Structure 1
């Protein structure tokens, strides 16, 4: 049975705001002031990521049509609004604490454009957007734990151990998802829309903009994880060289 909520966006946004404030003023109150905003952002990301994957998967499986141009189901719209609320809250976080971080602000604005046009403009294509959401958020839990551990690894021994232990498997999972599964899914999505099968319900300017946003995001992700692999290789190489000496 689908759970329907009247006008859920303000409710979801309020929940994320409360989680952020609890994280900032309670959970991470003993952390250095410069680390608390990022840690609080990780808290709302944790609250969004895995639940979004579960909800999006259910929303996709419950849709009998399974087409990239299908009319959005009520559950699919609910998941879209759940994610819109998260990105709005995290966007506020960046505008307040990191207004010069143009890359992340641009990423959030572009992501909101995709989600909001799907939900409020064309009312179709949620299957494609939620498929991308699953691929984007399936690594969220690992990434947030890795980020939190990395923030404290210089002053907390346990955090350093978690960071070092988690880095290789997280990098591997992220590489597979963003480097293989993501591009393949976008290829299928692009091929479907290019055939004209969705032109009656999703204007070309909409799906073309979706593809551009997603391809750009995946490209940036691949470059990011590639740099992390290079850093990991250099760090491990230095450790080996020290042992040899």
Structure 2
């Protein structure tokens, strides 16, 4: 049974609730961003636990060539539904965000081919999903605080307090743990032992998508570290001038 339509309906309902209930008093622009964050919150952290459950409670599927089990397919469907919902949001309300739209399309390619085309390889895909989403809670709180920090003192405090732990975790996961796991995937698939279940063009495509995503993530967090450093140095210089 394919649960993707059911999951999509759930995310669509959460999205509408964010628009018309949770963030109804926010300005139209920030409300759109907040609604996207809200469905990301509903997907990210649950996806980590669901992925880990699907992997660790099925030890027979702990290889990159293992056939997808039912739990793993459910997690893939859950994530496919989320990315389709958020892609609809982007295409309708932010079509100029080409980079993010491309990210969603590329991610969907990986999930869809794993779930509906080759029926194998969910172990590696779900570990990467968990690594990508383990920072989701911090990132979405950071994003929501960023959207309101200019007009809300509490949001500003949350933004600056959460920035360092968020950037730190993000840097470790995207800069070290993720690349190491991708390296192990490349070693496994390049040996050819999985070519009969995961064709070469499929796993090569997966690796390309993941490498591009990690590269962009590293550039993004590096830029945020630089911005944070400049802001703090600017505050220090201002304090010196005042004193």
TM-score range with shorter-chain normalisation? Answer: over 0.9
The answer to whether residue 23 in structure 2 is matched with residue 37 in structure 1 is no
- Aligned residue pair count: 240
State the shift of 1:64 in Å: 2.2
Residues of 2 paired with 1:100 and 1:242: CA distance? 37
Matches within 5 A, 1:60-75: 60-65=55-60, 66-75=62-71
Q: Work out which of the residue numbers 112, 116, 124 in structure 2 matches 1:128.
A: 124
The answer to whether residue 96 in structure 2 is matched with residue 95 in structure 1 is no
Residues of 2 paired with 1:168 and 1:62: CA distance? 34
Q: Which runs of 4+ in 1 moved over 3 A?
A: none
The answer to whether residue 10 in structure 2 is matched with residue 15 in structure 1 is yes
**Two-structure CA RMSD over aligned residues (Å):** 0.6
Residues of 1 paired with 2:2 and 2:128: CA distance? 24
Q: Work out which of the residue numbers 177, 195, 198 in structure 2 matches 1:181.
A: 177
The answer to whether residue 44 in structure 2 is matched with residue 49 in structure 1 is yes
Q: Which blocks of at least 5 consecutive residues in structure 1 are unaligned?
A: 1-5
State the shift of 1:7 in Å: 2.4
Could you report, residue by residue, the CA deviation over 1:91-147 in whole angstroms, capped at 9, with x for unpaired residues? 000001001110000000000000000000000000000000000000000000000
Question: Does the 8 Å CA contact 2:2/2:77 hold for their aligned counterparts?
Answer: no
Question: Does the 8 Å CA contact 2:4/2:78 hold for their aligned counterparts?
Answer: yes
Question: Does the 8 Å CA contact 2:149/2:156 hold for their aligned counterparts?
Answer: yes
State the shift of 1:208 in Å: 0.1
Residues of 1 paired with 2:59 and 2:223: CA distance? 41
State the shift of 1:63 in Å: 2.1
Match of residue 20 from structure 2 = 25
Could you report, residue by residue, the CA deviation over 1:157-177 in whole angstroms, capped at 9, with x for unpaired residues? 000000000001100000000
Residues of 2 paired with 1:71 and 1:89: CA distance? 27
The answer to whether residue 149 in structure 2 is matched with residue 153 in structure 1 is yes
State the shift of 1:244 in Å: 1.0
Question: Does the 8 Å CA contact 2:51/2:127 hold for their aligned counterparts?
Answer: yes
Residues of 2 paired with 1:82 and 1:33: CA distance? 28
State the shift of 1:197 in Å: 1.4
Structure 2 counterpart SS, 1:35 = helix
**TM superposition score normalised by structure 1:** 0.97
Structure 1 counterpart SS, 2:29 = coil
Matches within 5 A, 1:213-224: 213-224=209-220
**TM superposition score normalised by structure 2:** 0.98
Question: Does the 8 Å CA contact 2:182/2:207 hold for their aligned counterparts?
Answer: yes
State the shift of 1:241 in Å: 0.5
